[in-house]
Amino acid sequence: MITNDALTSYIRKTMSDAAVSVTDRTGTMDHFSIKVVSDHFKGKNLLDRHRMVYQALDEPMKDGRIHALEIKAETADGS
């Protein structure tokens, strides 16, 4: 289990400009949908954007606090 704030701070550690919205998909605080908006994604394809999010959340993914994660990763201008 992990809180939305903790998730957001993990993301912001590597993407300081990130706007993060988190939805707990099952109410168990370990199945999340997360939308990250950051200009760090500029020029990166979808796979690499998701890799960046996974790297930022590597620790809570590895220790099981996050069980399942759906990711949306966009730049500020929505591209």
Summarize as ranges the residues that interact with another protein (CB under 8 A).
Answer: 46-47, 50-51, 54, 58, 61, 68-72
Of 18 and 57, CB closest to another protein:
57
Cα–Cα–Cα angle for 19, 56, 27, rounded to 5 degrees: 70
The strand ranges marked E within the chain are 19-24, 31-37, 68-74
Closest CB to another protein among 9 and 26? Answer: 26
Shortest separation between residue 3's beta carbon and another protein, angstroms: 21
What does DSSP say about strands 31-37 and 68-74: parallel, antiparallel, or unpaired?
Answer: parallel
By beta-carbon proximity to another protein, the closer residue of 18 and 36 is 36
